[in-house]
Structure 1
Amino acid sequence: MVTTRRAGVEAVDRLEPLWLELHRHHRAVGGQALGPYVDDATSWRERRALYVGFLAKGGFACLAERGGELVGYAMVAVMSVSETQMPDTWQTGERIAEIETLSVTPDARGAGIGSALLDHVDEELRSAAIDDVLVGAFVSNTDAIRLYERRGFRPAWMYLQRLGGRSA
């Protein structure tokens, strides 16, 4: 049985293996066309710092555990809408949330864990009176996009990138 619970900064270091699995998944679904990618150590160092920052500003994590083993997590940033580009285009509440990460271990995918985590995120946001939520996904990650669309998310904008600094 899988249980979900809210967590804070005390849980950040437990997230490393799942983040790195997602980082590798991003490289796989993104392919060389979206590179260059950073190595695992750099990826975790940067992601960990982001997570600590999100949590310090009112964000939260939701953990999914099966038999005490971490099998998935969601990281959510909460911010004032005035800190975003939203108010110049959309009507929103005073605070918005962004699901920064949703990660499920490969062996647990397809078992409803991502949906259970998103249910928990929705409960937390509802209790905080936050109705407006953003989430991003690699354009080529069609499974994630389908999951988010089933939950009411709709495409709103798309980022294009041109990265320099490619190694030969």
Structure 2
Amino acid sequence: MPGSIRIERVGVAALPRLAPLWEALFDHHVAIGAAGLAVIDREESWALRERHYRRLSAEHPWVSIHLGVQEGCPVGYALSYADEIDGLPAVVLETLSVLPEARGAGVGTRLMRAVDAEADAAGIGTAVVEVMGGNPRPRKLYLAEGYRPHSESWLRSRRPGGGETVGGAAGSRAVVGASVGTAGTAGTSAGADAELRALAAELGFPLEFSPGPDDTWVSSDRIAELVPAAAGTVTDPLRIGALLDGLADAGAWTARVEIPAAPAHEALRSALVALGFRLSTERLVRRQPMHRRRPV
């Protein structure tokens, strides 16, 4: 592509300009197999992603958007936000996307540098990124930038009586069961949620719910979030499966389990694989950014 590329920092008002850039990233995720999970229709994805970005803006101290612009047209963006990880202030690089025709020109690296410079100016020394499972190229890039494995998110979507949503070959979708957007409604009262939380606690999983549906994968309107306790987590697939069945009956037929990076929780990881979970994303952390104060 002709013309020089400049990096601009823009506000949340510029979110609509990101739509084609996000859709290019969505297409890439589908092309690499989307971690083996079924994806939603492309036409539905951006509206859900924009909603996610606006929720981040409402829930965190700040959200930052850096655009790579060429001849007045956005060719890439980095969206990051301030958060905490392991009790320390951190900047999370939520999304990094570059149009296929602009790749190889260093746009992604310059966007990362812009995020680093902003973190440095804020006095924040911890950086966080998440990489989709089965996507080795960006993972290799981040590891070369000093990031290290921190944790993994494992995802399963299985409707009651409707089967599991699974990915087909790269670039295709396969959904076994009911259509996207349907979910059980039984047992969604506060009392039922309390019972599910108590059952999860018995197994060593604090349980929370996050809003769905997901902007990439087929999921329920409520997603069960399970993080194993430091010790004493049950790893019996039958007992975990009973909890998942109860969640599905209450409408949360998508469950996400976050565990520390390998080799921690190997028994639990094996149980999740046996239950049909897929490694959806891997979180990488860099404690001291390596490229501070470089030109962006």
The answer, yes or no, to whether TM exceeds 0.5 is yes
- Equivalent position amino acid for 2:7 in 1: T
Instruction: Give the TM-score of the pair, scaled to structure 1.
Output: 0.86
* 1:74 and 1:100 in contact (8 A); partners too: yes
In structure 2, how many angstroms separate the alpha carbons of the residues matched to 1:129 and 1:59? 16
1:163 positional shift: 2.0
> Structure 1 or 2: larger helix share?
1
The partner residue of 1:5 within 8, 29, 36 is 8
- 2: CA distance between counterparts of 1:151 and 1:116? 13
DSSP 3-state at the match of 1:152: coil
* 1:50-108 per-position Cα deviation (integer Å, ceiling 9, x unaligned): 112333431111100111111100010212x2xx5x23xxxx3xx21211100000011
| Offset at residue 24 of structure 1 (A) | 1.4
Give me the identity figure in percent.
34
8 Å contact from structure 1 (residues 76, 99) kept in 2: yes
* 1:48 match: 50
- Greater Rg over alpha carbons, structure: 2
Residue in structure 1 matched with residue 91 of structure 2 by the alignment: 97
User: Where in structure 2 are there 5+ consecutive unaligned residues?
Assistant: 160-164, 166-174, 177-296
Is the aligned partner of 1:39 residue 2:33?
A: no
- Structure 1 distance, partners of 2:38, 2:18, is 24
Q: Distance in 2 between the 1:55 and 1:116 partners?
A: 23
TM-score normalized with structure 2 length: 0.50
Show structure 1 runs of 5+ residues with no match: none
Following the alignment from structure 2 to structure 1, what is the Cα–Cα distance between the partners of residues 133 and 52?
A: 22
Name which of 146, 150, 165 aligns with 2:144. Answer: 150
Alpha-carbon distance between aligned partners in 2 of 1:67 and 1:127, rounded to the nearest angstrom: 29
Distance 1:150 1:5 in 2: 25
Q: CA deviation at 1:139?
A: 2.5
The root-mean-square deviation of aligned C-alpha atoms, in Å, is 1.6
| Structure with the higher fraction of residues in strand conformation | 2
Instruction: Give the number of equivalent residue pairs.
Output: 157
SS at match of 2:53: helix
1:10-159 aligned at under 5 Å gives the runs: 10-31=13-34, 34-56=36-58, 57=60, 58-79=62-83, 81=84, 86-87=86-87, 92=88, 95-159=89-153
Alpha-carbon separation, structure 2, partners of 1:78 and 1:151: 20
